[in-house]
Chain A
Amino acid sequence: DQQVKQNSPSLSVQEGRISILNCDYTNSMFDYFLWYKKYPAEGPTFLISISSIKDKNEDGRFTVFLNKSAKHLSLHIVPSQPGDSAVYFCAASSNTGNQFYFGTGTSLTVIP
């Protein structure tokens, strides 16, 4: 049962342009959403999060948008840099915090 879905396995973007990564979820009990970045041979690194009481959270070049009615969140990276090339996972949890559900990841390639 795939409660968090990332339908785009890969994305290529030119350096300096915007990268938009998308994520959908099915469980209406989720109230905390996160994006992680993962390089090969490393663990996921926390990037940015948003709680369900907000619809936008911004941290430097990274902005996460949450559309609760559509059960959809997105990560915007602008401007994209070659160092952003990695696999990006979205994750979600309910307020118990006992389990985080991960999407299958989107591999972002930023072309210099």
Chain B
Amino acid sequence: EPEVTQTPSHQVTQMGQEVILRCVPISNHLYFYWYRQILGQKVEFLVSFYNNEISEKSEIFDDQFSVERPDGSNFTLKIRSTKLEDSAMYFCASRLQGAGVNQPQHFGDGTRLSIL
């Protein structure tokens, strides 16, 4: 069964550095998402992406964050000037279709980001 893959599984970065989290969505999916889960807290929406642009973003997704689909397969989340509070599990998800069609998101296994 096709799956969403995320790399790396664990990323350790010094505070203030930039980090890029990578995701390969399911190949025929058109909608892409990033979520994060701080330890012990709920899964929080960051951003959705369709047709090479952001569809929606949350308050968390400020100028520190950006997303990109640099080629036909990868979907990346860049976090600039990382802070201690950015430490979390970051999940990528993809979905076959979007508006008006009820379909589930499929998640990768996440990248654990640790900011030191």
Contact = CB atoms under 8 A, between A and B. Distances in A.
Given A34-B104, A51-B102, A98-B55, A44 B91 contact: yes
Contacts of A43: 4, 6, 91, 93, 107-110
Contacts of A102: 35, 42-45
Interface string A28-48: 000110101000011111100
A63 interface: no
Contacts of A31: 102
Contacts, number: 68
Interface string B32-76: 010100000111110010100001101000000000000000000
Contacts of B43: 44, 89, 102, 105
Interface residues on B, range: 20 to 34
A95 B42 contact: no
Contacts of B6: 43
Interface string A68-104: 0000000000000000000001000001111111111
A95 B108 CA distance: 23
Nearest to A96: B99
A97 B32 CA distance: 11
Main secondary structure of the interface of A (DSSP, over half): loop
A19 interface: no
Given A43-B109, A44-B91, A103-B42, A96 B98 contact: yes
A42 B101 CA distance: 26
B83 interface: no
B78 interface: no
B105 interface: yes
Given A89-B43, A100-B45, A103-B42, A95 B100 contact: yes
14 contacts: A42-B110, A43-B6, A43-B108, A44-B43, A44-B91, A51-B102, A96-B98, A97-B98, A99-B48, A99-B58, A100-B105, A102-B44, A102-B45, A105-B43
Interface of A: 31-32, 34, 36, 41-46, 49, 51, 89, 95-105
Interface of B: 4, 6, 31, 33, 35, 41-45, 48, 50, 55-56, 58, 91, 93, 95, 97-110
